[in-house]
A and B are shown apart, each in its own frame.
Chain A
């Protein structure tokens, strides 16, 4: 087996195993779908008061992606702590497979749960609120959703590494949920936010993915937004890889890997 196929097999097996674990978890599977779905419902109930179908479609499209953000940020921030409490963190770090190659498929599996949420939310919006999406280009829209999924997975990768020293990291992840929904412009145009926080929005890859999705839906060209989105996702991955190596070395040196 070549090195490439060995790596691909490891990534696939790790992804499949983690996806199975997540999908049967009431907290990360069931709630990962239901929590953003109910927030999308609350949001659409607000938009429904005015009853503007264009505004409903605008909010409905963005609300569908909220689930990807939720599935990844909440679970990824406590990813390493979960392994630590399960007693498997040392085994993963000591294994010949690079540790970062273990984290990427896990956060990708989390983002896949978010993809389920996208589909469920779109169907829910159509059936319950009658939100009809008039999409000019479905392939480009799907590309936008996939770009959002991949880059949010990379953001989760970065988050999981950064939060390793924070004992109650799950709370940190949960507290990122609403700010992310707001800053990424899922249900509120970024142009409505105060000027001082807009740079934060621009630094978040999902902001560009949602813009790309809206461009694809309205018949515009989403390629520029997609390029920025993917570049930011690559930057998250590179930063996470760098920090991950440094933090693991530090944890080994100070014997704090298993510190609970």
Chain B
């Protein structure tokens, strides 16, 4: 019961704290305007270059933008405690670490999912891309799996932020890597081989592949492979994140650097 409370209530409180306790206004420009603008930017780049179609860019960029809330919010859920000088208080509690940090991940996953779905909905309306009603359940599932894997990457980044100070710069660099390497705007087959090989090991790549297939009408069974790979990639990053978090926590205690700015 105690762990469930830490997971749900602790996670929700931590998430709310990211909006400075006062107003959700910050959501509008960062999580509603920017994803749609990125979708439109690359859809028009595609039109100008005569490459792909609007659906290709719509799905790729909507899912790519899910990485912003997933990685940034997860990073700041941990490093934000450090800046607020509350990390020591959080870690000194007897609460189990697994529900403590996974609880912080749940609202982040939901946000990433909602941002991508918003981008898909508004982007399809603006670009005139028709997504049949029948494809939405599978598409929503693919977005959810992708949000989970991106949040796992965010957990690893949050752990790294116990050592490095500039989480915002790290988050942006990771986002750029995902933009260029994961087949967001260019199919893996059209990327240089070494870039495609890197993309195979990153979250997002297989999620985008699966989402593009289901958006084009493929049944869910046909994309089970990419979805499972996406989930396994997320699981690997999640395990690495939790392990790094434990290591960084112990190391920070030993060096007394937990709250050093």
A97 to chain B, nearest CB (A): 31
Inter-subunit contact A175/B49 (CB<8 Å): no
B50 neighbours in A (Cβ, 8 Å): 50
In the complex formed, the residue of B with least CB distance to A189 is B48
Interface residues of A (CB under 8 A from B): 26-27, 30-31, 34-35, 38-39, 41-43, 45-50, 55, 59, 167-168, 171-172, 174-175, 177-179, 181-182, 187-189, 192-193
Q: What are 24 A-B pairs with beta-carbon distances under 8 A? A: A27-B172, A31-B169, A34-B172, A42-B179, A42-B186, A45-B185, A46-B42, A46-B45, A46-B49, A47-B49, A48-B186, A49-B49, A55-B48, A171-B26, A171-B30, A174-B30, A175-B34, A179-B37, A182-B41, A187-B45, A187-B48, A188-B41, A192-B47, A192-B48
B253 to chain A, nearest CB (A): 27
Inter-subunit contact A42/B26 (CB<8 Å): no
Inter-subunit contact A168/B48 (CB<8 Å): no
Is B95 part of the binding interface, using a Cβ–Cβ cutoff of 8 Å?
Answer: no
Say yes or no: A55-B25 contact (C-beta < 8 A), given A178-B38, A188-B44. Answer: no
Say yes or no: A171-B29 contact (C-beta < 8 A), given A27-B168, A38-B180, A182-B40. Answer: yes
- Contact check: which of A31, A46, A179, A192 meets B186 at CB < 8 Å? A46
B52 neighbours in A (Cβ, 8 Å): 46, 49
The CA of A139 and the CA of B172, in the complex, are separated in Å by 35
Within 8 A of A (CB), among B193-209: none
The CA of A26 and the CA of B168, in the complex, are separated in Å by 9
The CA of A43 and the CA of B46, in the complex, are separated in Å by 9
12 extra A-B contacts, CB within 8 A, seeds A59-B48, A168-B20: A26-B166, A38-B179, A45-B191, A46-B186, A49-B190, A50-B50, A59-B45, A167-B23, A168-B23, A168-B26, A171-B30, A175-B34
Inter-subunit contact B180/A41 (CB<8 Å): yes
Q: Please count the residue pairs between chain A and chain B whose beta carbons lie under 8 angstroms apart in the complex.
A: 105
B259 to chain A, nearest CB (A): 20
Inter-subunit contact B37/A46 (CB<8 Å): no
B41 neighbours in A (Cβ, 8 Å): 178, 181-182, 188
The 6 A-B residue pairs with the shortest CB-CB distance in the complex, in nearest-first order: A175-B29, A178-B37, A38-B176, A175-B33, A168-B26, A171-B29
B45 neighbours in A (Cβ, 8 Å): 43, 46-47, 59, 187-188
Interface residues of B (CB under 8 A from A): 20, 22-23, 25-26, 29-30, 33-34, 37-38, 40-42, 44-52, 166, 168-169, 172-173, 176, 179-180, 184-186, 190-191
Inter-subunit contact B168/A50 (CB<8 Å): no
A32 to chain B, nearest CB (A): 10
A31 neighbours in B (Cβ, 8 Å): 169, 172-173
A45 neighbours in B (Cβ, 8 Å): 180, 185-186, 190-191
A39 neighbours in B (Cβ, 8 Å): 176, 179
Inter-subunit contact A50/B29 (CB<8 Å): no
Inter-subunit contact B172/A35 (CB<8 Å): yes
The CA of A34 and the CA of B172, in the complex, are separated in Å by 9
The CA of A26 and the CA of B166, in the complex, are separated in Å by 8
The CA of A171 and the CA of B49, in the complex, are separated in Å by 30
| Most chain A Cβ neighbours within 10 Å, of B44, B50, B173 | B44
- Contact check: which of A30, A35, A42 meets B185 at CB < 8 Å? A42
The CA of A100 and the CA of B194, in the complex, are separated in Å by 50
The CA of A48 and the CA of B46, in the complex, are separated in Å by 11
A26 neighbours in B (Cβ, 8 Å): 166, 169
B46 neighbours in A (Cβ, 8 Å): 46
